[in-house]
Structure 1
């Protein structure tokens, strides 16, 4: 089996800090680079223990990703969560795009560990019939056009694949569908960001998420100056600042009752 080197800049990130842990997860065909600014901000400004893993098959080559499954991606973030749980008393999970979908899986299935979840342009549905048709198409090409690098800021760049392996599209759809069905199991505090203009994930995913989780404490923030990869875009500082505030205010008050806010 071929071993593919990690693209420079796409390496995972870990910073040991205090007893509040933050698991930050990148998206489909992306790499830790897309959320590294957010992870470093939480480590520096919050003093948190921050883990930014590299999902299997990501940050290397599309051919490498073609060999992976949703189960591989889930196992990766479960392992990272367990490692944080060994050293932290409260843990928050943060995810961009499919990383947010993975975060919701953890929040639904690891309720005793996840104290809060933050999602950024996270898909629970894609509304792309042509893309869905390729998931089980026998004549689908090996690789499809990439879905990354949807960024408004012309000076920002994402390390992502130009093409997505067709074999992983069905994995993505299964992951999304199961997360959507499990939303009522989520009771921890939720902060969701959605870009008003997103060319990958319909912005209506944000309100849908807020409407279907069982959390009493949930907030939706609309980003006005970023596209899909908002963690690298013009609103990246706001995302980092709001996420830091969200975590700080809930580190030791996760049993408190909160009011739902949407803007």
Structure 2
């Protein structure tokens, strides 16, 4: 039996990786775990949550898979990619997939471009139809500053561990991601110690790479990497 743990991002929920999970479920008979990290979900309650709780929650799900499966894969999106990297360095994980993994965050040039589009939609009365605005307006209003600080602490805690990742790793990055810049994917590719590693860019994709227009191309590549 193959087990697959899929970890969502900061202020997110399983919906962030759901299209990929659905695709993989249709193509495989793997055992999937797609947890909701503490304080996350459709309604955020991040006050008082510490980054160690996010790691521990994912860790417990991974231990459960390791106890029952012959092989275990970990897929992480954004902050979940950093947690996935940490787990891959600490536990007997067989393969690792990093999607828009947030070793660095904010791409000023792309973010400025996205904001110009939002401003244009605002002027034209179409802001409520702007997908990017709708996706982030709740996060911006419901995320405590303390939670953002915990996110930064998590990234700082995990970065030194990255050279300990030695398993086959696929790193995927959207080339129009305004949240996580390309240098994040490049840093991960250069820093992890895996002999088998691949960096791929998804053309036209913004941060939520599993929801991009060309997501099936990404999903096929993920499946092929995990199956070979």
**TM-score normalized by the length of structure 1:** 0.73
**Aligned residue-pair number:** 204
List aligned pairs for 1:1-263, cutoff 5 A. Answer: 19-62=1-44, 64-110=45-91, 113-126=92-105, 154=131, 161-163=139-141, 164-249=143-228
Q: 1:94 aligns to what SS in structure 2?
A: strand
Q: 1:119 aligns to what SS in structure 2?
A: strand
RMSD: 2.1
Asked whether the 8 Å contact 2:173–2:202 carries over to 1, the reply is yes
Asked whether the 8 Å contact 2:4–2:74 carries over to 1, the reply is yes
Asked whether the 8 Å contact 2:106–2:179 carries over to 1, the reply is no
Structure 1 runs (4+) deviating above 4 angstroms are 157-160
Which structure shows the bigger proportion of residues in helix conformation? Answer: 2
Unaligned runs of 5+ in 2: 109-129
Q: 1:204 aligns to what SS in structure 2?
A: helix
Shift of 1:127: 5.9
Asked whether the 8 Å contact 1:46–1:244 carries over to 2, the reply is no
**TM-score normalized by the length of structure 2:** 0.83
Q: 1:54 aligns to what SS in structure 2?
A: coil
> Equivalents in 1 of 2:106, 2:35: separation in Å?
28
> Equivalents in 1 of 2:174, 2:208: separation in Å?
9
Q: 2:182 aligns to what SS in structure 1?
A: coil
For 1:90-115, what per-residue CA distance to the aligned partner results, in whole angstroms no more than 9, with x for missing partners? 111001100101101101111xx211
Asked whether the 8 Å contact 1:39–1:51 carries over to 2, the reply is no
